[in-house]
Chain A
Amino acid sequence: MTITGRLARKAIAVVAIGAAAALALAGCTTSGTPTPTAASGGTVTVASVNDFTSFNYNTPQGNLDTNGVVNYLTTGGFFTVDPSYKVIYDTSFGKIEKTSDSPLTVKYTLQKGLKWSDGEPITSDDMLLAWALASGHYDSGTVDADGKVTKGTNYFSIAGSTAGLDATSLPTLGTDGLTMTLTYSTPYVDYMLVSPIAQPAHVVATKAGLKSAADLTALLLKLPKGDPASPAAADPTLQKAAEFVNTGYDVTAMPTDASLLVSSGPMTVSAFVPTQSLTLVPNKFYTGDHKAKLDKIVLRNIPDANAQVAALANGEVDVINPQASADTLAALKKTTATVSTGSTVSYDHLDLSFNATVFKDAKVREAFLKTIPRQQILDSIVTPVDAQSKVLDSQQFVPQQSSYADSVKNNGSSAYDKVDIDGAKALLAGATPEIKLMYNTKNPNRVDEFQAIQASASKAGFKIVDAGSPDWSKKLGDGTYDAVLFGWVSPGYGYAGVPQIWSTNGGGNYNKYTGTDKLAISTQTELDSSKINAILAKMDAQAFSDAYGLPLFQLPGILGASARVQNVKFMGNQTGPVWNFWEWTVTGK
């Protein structure tokens, strides 16, 4: 009796467990739907070094390469730049016209029928917002050395500079909602490189608590220009809008708020797996010339250059743009990928400090520069990657620009074409100056440059002291070194950056060089590009005759593209390989 009872209890328990398991199972199944079939255009996966962090590329914290690529793919604009750094105007988006020289007046006209990816029209409201962002027109803040605002209000924080646009008065908008006219109080050299399109005004308006883009426009037109001397009270609505634009676009996961994804460009973000990949699909409201032929562009996060090559060889990515080295190139050539090389916009250069005692004498500067083995440095660092590369001979232009060749002919760089130890010795006349040469010890290129220079200059009697440091950037301009090896990034187009390095008080003039001050400043108010190039050529020659320093080489770049993707072309600036994504096609699957 007891036995049967126990068995019965056991049986009940078993049945109960079974039933519970069945119920749980039913809850834990999927419908088993098949995966959607692939569409016809195909997918291209591009390796990116850094993770995506923000839908707003133009904030100081969001201004990173991957964000820039996404921004490039998702933002329409009045122009793009080609690999020779020529500006190509995109009339399918709109046009820029200069309507008056004095005062400089520029009119922006949007193409009719443009729409954001949520179906809302792109209008002059959006242009006005972009102008408000970029010009700092409403800012009245005074900032101390640590970056604290001590008085007044600063609204939008932007990565770029307000230079140029800060000289514009409140724009006038056309009645058709498609035009905006800017008037400059002083001429601005890069007026044709202003593309007033950024975040969608209707989204920003909603986030600021306004009803529509028109309300935001009304507010912007009504508010007074900010005056740091006597700041007005902050406008709470604009502050709200600014707060959203400044930080609201920063993400660490695919946003649940679809309004962050609203795009004016050919693509729009469809998926984002943090630290892993970001997927873009065509914007179905995009009507311009840069329509993609692909179904998807995937940005895949692979920090390591070797891992990128392996991933390309293994078919996990299609396009890579890894940090260049001869070995990476050779490894890439062993795969079936199409490989191209070129020069990037970064270039290494040797600068002499004009306030260093040892360089007070122009002869010492000249003698030192004569010992710099530029060809040897190029041959060991660049030539193995890019066989066509040549020593950089201009401080103002890069070889991809048309003005480079003319400038090089006359700038006096030929005096430093070859290492001239005897010439240097003659100039030194038996002196053995000691030179503290600073460089970044964490950068292998600079280390190799230093060693090559040290070996060569010693032959002429120089004593080269190793002032290399991982802290080099903090020491720039502090007078603890006599010469420095480092790199600049030249944008390749536009002239607004010229005074930064070449005027006496420029923020990048660590060498306290004064020889080109007036010329550099005069470029900023010149509107005729041929005249600007003439001034730059003059500055180029001046710098060489003052023995300012020497440009060494442009950093080489490598582009590897899987054989199944066509029309991927090398681009040396920060946009990288995606610059012509609309031309890409995929064969096979």
Chain B
Amino acid sequence: MVSFILRRILVSVLVLIAASFVMYTLTAYSAHPLDDLLSSSALNKEKLIQARIQALQLDVPPPLRWFLWLGGAAKCLIPLANACNLGKTISNANVTDILPMAMQSTIQLVTGALVLAVVLGLALGIITALRQYSGLDNAVTFTSFFLYSLPSFLIAVLLKEFIAIGFNNFLVSPTIPMGIVIAIGIVLGLVVQSVVGGDMRRRLVVGGVTTVLSVTVLYAISLTGWLLKPGLGPVFILLLSVGIAVGATALIAGLRNRRALITGMITVVVALGSYFTLQGLFDMASVGTLVILAIVAVLVGLLVGYLMGGYDRGQSMRVGAITAALSGGLVLLDRFMQSWPTYVSEVNGRPIATVGYQTPNLGGDVWVSGIDSFTHFALPTLALLLISFASYTRYARAGMLEVMGQDYVRTARAKGLPERTVVVRHAFRNMLIPITTLLAFDVGALLGGAIITESIFGIPGMGQLFFAGLGRGDLNPVMGYFIVIAAMAILFNFLADLAYAALDPRVRVR
């Protein structure tokens, strides 16, 4: 294992060095760093050109200059020496100083999009595979094809112009017209009946109930101005948490497993209790507090499951942990909602941002700045997500269908195992194997896509660094960008290999 990792790292570094040479020379030969000066009418033009040639070592031909650059970059590999030198920009800033700033927002954006794309994509892929050739399946398949074929900037521009500005305009007087309420209700009803499946009568009932329920909820939201002063309150937290507990039990242990169900219910009660007791703590919370609370919540869930355990302790513990995490999330969501009106008035009633990653000089506590991050990242994340999510859906669907046809799944069914067990325990895990490979590739695609998303949403991240650097002929920031994304691509490939090995016992890492 250790030798495998060492070998991998060595090869990766060599690959990285070779790739950096390709990138460096290509960029250097395409760059025009003196453009602005050559066409200027400044009196001391010659002097300025000389100064820039000196500063960027332009008198050295690119392949040789790459060695100079590599000399500085190699120092980054010395741990703790802090001697990293990736050169300077045209405006005399160290690339090593500006990279972390740029990375922060890009990593936030890409990670968010990636996690959501995987979770949603897998879920939708599995559902459509299990309901093959249903209306939902056909709709999702066509949509994913469509999203595939959509240039990423198109999605980003549409989201910005219609969702951001449109939603903010809507918030001025947030009443949803009745027609739209009913339309949304019907669509939801259609989707849910398709997911649930069964005979015609069951579908009709499920679809009808969903439609009526969602119409009522939307109408209530519209009528009470809930969007301006949102909140869940203890009642809805309780209702939703119970739903989560039942869902988690059904998915992981099956509703017949009483101990698991009770675990879930106890966790819900604990969560509701914490809702009442923790409000004071929330008012002076920092990010650290929330992280600790999240860990504690999961531990509590595990503990409850452990104590309730029974013969299949693991299942109860998993139910407990998931219920605790999600219902705890609801409690936090409620607290965020309480800060929403404050935030909205801070930004003059237009919460969804179109540009940047934070409101300047906002101040405020963790709740307000949390909402600020959300309103800035929601749309760019969505724009990135929509595109890569399509491929996860199709992968997951294809993988699931293939796995479900395998002999061992048939055997499991033949043993009389319930469908849930077959899907969750036997099929799911094996379906994940090809997904790991996709994941590694997708990170590269997402980082590339971030260039466009960042430019449209004015987020000054890595993509902007690259884009602006390339346009200006500023080589060092472009190379800084390259180093980071290449290292990330390599890292994710490596992680994918490890995950592959973990999921597929046939693969052995030597």
Contacts and interface: CB of A to CB of B under 8 A. Distances in A.
Direct contact of A and B (CB under 8 A): yes
Interface of A: 14, 17, 21, 24-25, 27-32, 35-36, 43, 45, 51, 53-54, 59-62, 64, 143, 145-148, 157, 159-163, 247, 250-253, 271, 273-277, 279, 296, 298, 300-304, 306-308, 310-311, 313-317, 470-474, 476, 486-489, 496-497, 500-501, 507-508, 589
Interface stretch (B87-95, B247-255, B432-440): B87-95
B284 A53 contact: no
B286 A29 contact: yes
Question: In the complex, which of the residues B292, B296, B356, B363 has the most CB atoms of chain A within 10 Å of its own CB atom?
Answer: B356
B481 interface: no
Nearest to A311: B355
A28 B292 contact: yes
A277 B353 CA distance: 15
Contacts of B97: 252-253
Interface string B349-387: 110111111111101111000000000000000000000
Given A29-B286, A30-B284, 8 more contacts: A28-B286, A29-B284, A61-B51, A61-B90, A253-B97, A277-B360, A302-B355, A317-B355
B143 interface: no
A146 B59 contact: yes
B296 A30 contact: no
A289 B39 CA distance: 37
B92 A250 contact: yes
B54 A29 contact: no
Interface stretch (B228-236, B327-335, B455-463): B455-463
Interface of B: 32, 34-36, 38-55, 59, 89-94, 97-98, 101-102, 160-161, 164-165, 168, 281, 283-286, 288-289, 291-293, 295-296, 299, 303, 347-350, 352-361, 363-366, 455-458, 460-461, 464, 468
Given A53-B92, A301-B460, A473 B34 contact: yes
Contact of B361 (A31, A43, A60, A489): A43
A276 B356 contact: yes
B347 to A, nearest CB: 7
B304 to A, nearest CB: 11
Nearest to B51: A60
Given A54-B92, A304-B458, A28 B32 contact: no
Nearest to B57: A146
B41 A501 contact: yes
Nearest to A275: B460
9 contacts: A21-B296, A28-B286, A29-B289, A31-B284, A161-B43, A250-B91, A298-B361, A307-B458, A474-B34
A146 B53 contact: yes
Contacts of A476: 38-39
B290 to A, nearest CB: 9
B340 to A, nearest CB: 16
A275 B165 contact: no
Nearest to B38: A473
B41 A500 contact: yes
Contacts of B47: 60, 143, 161
A3 B54 CA distance: 78
Nearest to A164: B43
Contact of A307 (B32, B42, B355): B355
A507 B284 contact: no
A307 B44 contact: no
Nearest to A62: B91
Contact of B348 (A14, A271, A277, A315): A315
Contacts of A24: 288, 292
Contact of A276 (B291, B348, B358): B358
A60 B48 contact: yes
A303 B464 CA distance: 9
A300 B53 contact: no
Contacts of B44: 160-163
Contacts of A35: 363-364
A30 B32 contact: no
B354 A247 contact: no
Contacts of A307: 354-355, 455-458
Contacts of A508: 40-41, 45
B39 A507 contact: no
B167 to A, nearest CB: 10
A54 B39 contact: no
A311 B354 contact: yes
B48 A45 contact: no
Nearest to B42: A161
Nearest to B99: A252
A496 B44 CA distance: 11
Contacts of A27: 288
Q: Which 3 A-B pairs have the closest CB atoms?
A: A147-B50, A28-B288, A275-B460
A589 B347 CA distance: 11
Contacts of A302: 355-356, 458
A147 B55 CA distance: 9
Contacts of A250: 91-93
Contacts of B348: 315, 589
Contacts of A474: 32, 34, 38
Contacts of B286: 28-30
B284 A146 contact: no
B347 A25 contact: no
Contacts of A317: 355
A294 to B, nearest CB: 13
Given A45-B360, A311-B354, A315-B347, A61 B458 contact: no
Nearest to B291: A28
